[in-house]
Structure 1
Amino acid sequence: MTAHQDAPLRIHPVATKDDLREFVELAYRLNRGDPAWVPPLKSEVYALLTPGKNPWFDHGTAQLFLARRGTRTVGRISAHIDRLALEQPAEQGMGPGTGNWGLLEAEEEETAQALLAAAENWLREQGMTRALGPLSISIWDEPGLLVEGFETPPTIMLGHNSPLYAPWIEAAGYGQAKDLFNYVVDIADGFPPIVNRIVAAGEKNARIRIRRVDKSRFEDEARLIMTILNDAWSDNWGFVPLTDGEIAHVGKKLKTLVFEDLIRVAELDGEPVAFMIVLPNINELLIDMHGSLLPFHWAKLLWWLRKPKSRRLRVPLMGVVKKLQHSRMASTLAFMMIEYIRRDGVTKYRAKQGDIGWVLEDNQGMRAVADAIEAKVNRIYRLYDKPLG
């Protein structure tokens, strides 16, 4: 047994720049031996956690915690409250009294249990009656704990964690709140005949127009897509509306990964009513960069972004306005956007597979679309909750 293992465990709030650095660095140390873990760029992690850089803090507050034995950092967790989430209906997953935790990393179970307790105590002090997690930090970032699909690296904007964490969290009294599915589908040879027939029928409908986004009007296009998103997802479990500041932030963050032929907007009678965003999988590059663009990784990244080739593409977001949901038209628009982007993804980006997700376990519409194109679940993320008595 090493000296630090004999030392008592201490949990304390992150209060200094050195504390924050240890909070960020710990994930890289603990996950270094996992070949499926993709190290995020450290600059992105610091931006996520920094008020003034992340507009989530305009309506949210967070406290970070470190666990130490002696001088060694052995764990971390965040506790946070989103005031917009508190305003949502309780039956949609958030609502009054619901606080969150996330960004959990721990060397062993005792540390994980102590960190969860610290996060829960902080939430209680803020008047919360329920803990829901993990969220990193917003529902729009990386929600859920990976519970199935540890064998392969995740695609862009999906998380990865140790398989040990689920039993540790459950031992702390947490139960399943909701599962989020990620699907994978082979796209090189096209989709089943039924999908092709739906697309062909849609192409004969003069009311429908499927267009690429116009990157020269990027801010307007981003605002349009996020407006559709806020409407399309407003009744979804866990929904929290994106603010104007967050929409601008997301647009700026993703602009370098936006390629016009991978994002479609569907118009019906001239009105934008649906969208689909597909991103090349930059994780194929990041996995070997160790979280830094220095000394020469920046050049590799710029070259890749110039004309990316991506074995797998990911659909992080798509939506149809609420008034069309559960209609045949909604399915037609979805299949047309998927097929048009598939064609460009294969011919221009050499993609072989597509990821779709995450998809709520009870989102029957999206699950039916995934089944129709013969997509299979390859990763499951779980959100846990617990009453704070």
Structure 2
Amino acid sequence: MSGIEIRPVQSSGDLGEFIALPNAIHATDPAYVAPLNLERRQALSPKANPLLQKIEHRLWIARRGGRPVGRISAQADPRLGSIGQFGLLAAEDDQAVVHALFRTAERWLEQRGKTEVQGPFNLSINEETGLLIDGFDTPPMLLMPHDKPYLGPRVEAEGYAKAMDLYAYLHDTEVPFPKSIERLLSRPKPPEVVIRHMDWSRYDEELKTLVDIFNDAWSENWGFLPFGQDELEHMAKSMKPLLDDRLLWFVEVNGRAAAFGLSLPNLNEMIRDLNGSLLPFGWAKLVWRLKRRTYRSGRIPLMGVRKEFHRNVLGQMLPLYIFEKFREEGRARNVRHVEMSWVLETNKPMRHIGEALGGGSAYKTYRVYSKQLAPASAAAS
């Protein structure tokens, strides 16, 4: 292994090293945005992140000559049966490092009876998903990964193949909607349809409605894992500083919420110069930027339409009603760009909308890989 040593993360110091490692790898990358250290520690803490109380996971750091050169995670989620996952991958451009990381993660998964591995998931499909394979020249939006161009080929050299591609589309709020969409939106809305923004006085109830629609809308999609009550509460707490009542919209049909769309300010734009630290003055800068709405970009991370509307004309209109509201709010706030991400390559209706609003093809592509593993008996021998 060319002097490469792989050790699990066991201490707070190890975790700090694990979190900081991508910053060194991307030190010369102008598009990279260092995540907030505090947020990363909370995301990787079983006490703070309820997901980690449901799954078994392990983090490793690769070192050569005592110097960190790579990292990886492995996750065993009982809800996924024989499928294991890897994630949080970062490594120098060295196949030996990538090989050592994957072999360690794969053996750990094989020992737990996993016969297939998919990833990257940081740390589930409901968090950061996929490895960037196209669109390296622009910074990532909030809760989207960013990777080096060499990493995809390095992963494929370890026997991984594409399982699914995910797309991101960028809409310029100053560019008019295509005429075909404008014609649809100019028609009178059916009398049974009501479009409303979030009621802040019913915050918890509104988020429960969002999750109920999401779990129904996505239940038949590739890789779906439902949000649980504990994850809902964690999401509600973590999103609250970013959430604005006019950035969460519901469409009701006959008095029942049938669709929703959530947009968030692009936190990455506001923390880009903080280098991951909120000390000594990062807190003040971030609070001021949020309060003054200095951001010029946002992301739509969650959207859903109940399954009962998926195959009728009204169901095709519901996302457009929501996008119209996001466009209006974006222009009112001087938000120039809104990213719709991510969209499964198999989700043709949303891809068509993304391509129409984004002026063509996706501007970023992320890939989820898969690989068959040896049976547990063969791995043990």
Q: TM-score, normalised by structure 2?
A: 0.95
Compute the displacement of 1:261 (Å).
Answer: 1.5
Instruction: Identify the match of residue 74 of structure 2 among 76, 79, 104.
Output: 79
Q: Percent identity?
A: 39
Instruction: Identify the match of residue 172 of structure 1 among 158, 163, 170.
Output: 158
Instruction: Identify the match of residue 363 of structure 1 among 327, 344, 347.
Output: 347
Instruction: Identify the match of residue 215 of structure 2 among 205, 226, 230.
Output: 230
Offset from partner CA, 1:18-39 (integer Å, 9 cap, x none): 2222111212222222111111
Offset from partner CA, 1:72-122 (integer Å, 9 cap, x none): 1211110111122x2xxxxxxxxx210000111112221111101100000
The CA distance in 1 between the partners of 2:104 and 2:86, in whole Å, is 10
Instruction: Identify the match of residue 51 of structure 2 among 56, 63, 71.
Output: 56
CA contact (8 A) 1:187 1:351 kept: yes
Offset from partner CA, 1:288-346 (integer Å, 9 cap, x none): 11001111121111111113133222111111001111221112111111012211110
Question: Which 5+ residue runs of structure 1 have no aligned equivalent?
Answer: 1-5, 87-95
| Residue identity matched to 1:156 | L
CA contact (8 A) 1:146 1:382 kept: yes
What's 1:90 paired with?
Answer: none
What are the residue-to-residue correspondences of 1:108-123 with 2, within 5 Å? 108-123=94-109
The CA distance in 2 between the partners of 1:202 and 1:173, in whole Å, is 54
Aligned length: 372
What's 2:280 paired with?
Answer: 295
Instruction: Identify the match of residue 154 of structure 1 among 129, 132, 140.
Output: 140
Matched residue SS, 1:257: coil
What are the residue-to-residue correspondences of 1:150-229 with 2, within 5 Å? 150-203=136-189, 205-229=190-214
CA contact (8 A) 2:169 2:363 kept: yes
Distance 1:128 1:307, change over 3 A: same
The CA distance in 2 between the partners of 1:325 and 1:339, in whole Å, is 19
The CA distance in 2 between the partners of 1:202 and 1:226, in whole Å, is 29
What's 1:353 paired with?
Answer: 337
| Residue identity matched to 2:251 | A
Offset from partner CA, 1:169-210 (integer Å, 9 cap, x none): 00000000000000112221431222122223253x110000
CA contact (8 A) 1:276 1:319 kept: yes
Question: Which 5+ residue runs of structure 2 have no aligned equivalent?
Answer: 375-381
Instruction: Identify the match of residue 18 of structure 1 among 9, 13, 16.
Output: 13
Compute the displacement of 1:373 (Å).
Answer: 2.8
What's 1:322 paired with?
Answer: 307
| Residue identity matched to 2:17 | E
Larger mean CA deviation between 148-157 and 303-312 belongs to 303-312
Matched residue SS, 2:327: helix
The CA distance in 2 between the partners of 1:243 and 1:193, in whole Å, is 40
The CA distance in 1 between the partners of 2:358 and 2:55, in whole Å, is 39
| Residue identity matched to 1:46 | R
What's 1:92 paired with?
Answer: none
Larger mean CA deviation between 301-310 and 289-298 belongs to 301-310
Distance 1:29 1:270, change over 3 A: same
What's 1:145 paired with?
Answer: 131
Q: TM-score, normalised by structure 1?
A: 0.93
Compute the displacement of 1:240 (Å).
Answer: 0.5
